[in-house]
Amino acid sequence: MSLLVPDTGLLFWMTVSFGIVFFILIKFGFPVITKAVEKRHDYIEHALEEARMAEEKTAVLHSQAQTILQDARSERNKIIDQAQDIKTKMVNEAKEEAEREARHRIERAQAEIETSKHLSIISLKDEITGISVKIAEKVLGQELEDDEKQLALIHRIMNREVVSKV
């Protein structure tokens, strides 16, 4: 039955040892540990929160960058399209201009050709006229060499002219 009776000597030692242990631990042990653990707990929570916020921020930034990129891309496409348009327009214009110029030149050349043709025809006519006059002179000179021939001619012409008139 002595098992069930608390021994006073042991109670004394228990009081002493538990008291000392309790005092030391309450002074240097548990509060230090629990405070540090709680501090670390807060720190970790804080860090996690910050990390979460940073992540959100990067997500926002990323989406912003994405939109900027998208904008830039569409802008680029627009610019390229515009450039394409301008290019085709310029080419067309240049083509038209060239055509017009060419036509103009051709027309002018034709006009020139026409004029020069005209002129050459005129000069040719003149020449031919000169030549024919000369020929006529020569022919006439030959025919009018002697009087008989001159008279024969005069007769012939006279006949023709007078007969036709009468």
Partner 1 sequence: MLKNSNIIKVISLLVILPFFTTGVARAEELNVKEFILEHLADSYSWHITRWGDREMVVPLPVIVRSREGGWSLFLSSKLDHGAEYKGFSISQEGAYSGKVVERNGRGEVVRPMIDISLTKTSAALIINSIILLLVILPLARWYKTGTMKPTKGFLGAVEMLLVDIQDEVIKVCVGEDYRRFSPYLLTAFFFIFVNNLMGLIPFFPGGANVTGNIAVTFFLAICTFFTVNVFGNKAYWKEILWPDVPVWLKVPAPLMPLIEIFGIFTKPFALTIRLFANIVAGHSIILGLICIIFITSSMGAGMNTGMSVVSIIFTCFMFFVELLVAYIQAYVFTLLSSVFIGLARAKHEAHAH
| Interface ranges with partner 1 (CB under 8 A) | 2-15, 17-18, 20-22, 24-26, 28-37, 39-40, 43
CB of 31 to partner 1, least distance (A): 6
- Residues near 143 by beta carbon (within 8 Å), at least 6 away in sequence: 149, 150, 153
Q: Which is nearer to partner 1, 46 or 87 (CB)?
A: 46
Q: Which is nearer to partner 1, 14 or 59 (CB)?
A: 14
CB of 77 to partner 1, least distance (A): 52
- Residues near 144 by beta carbon (within 8 Å), at least 6 away in sequence: 150, 153
CB of 65 to partner 1, least distance (A): 34
- Residues near 149 by beta carbon (within 8 Å), at least 6 away in sequence: 143
- The H or E element containing residue 143 is helix 30-143
Q: Which is nearer to partner 1, 40 or 57 (CB)?
A: 40
Q: Which is nearer to partner 1, 47 or 157 (CB)?
A: 47
CB of 56 to partner 1, least distance (A): 24
Please state, in angstroms and rounded to a whole number, the distance separating the CA atoms of residues 129 and 135.
Answer: 9
Phi and psi torsions of 43, nearest 5°: -60, -45
Residue found under tokens 């240049």: 94
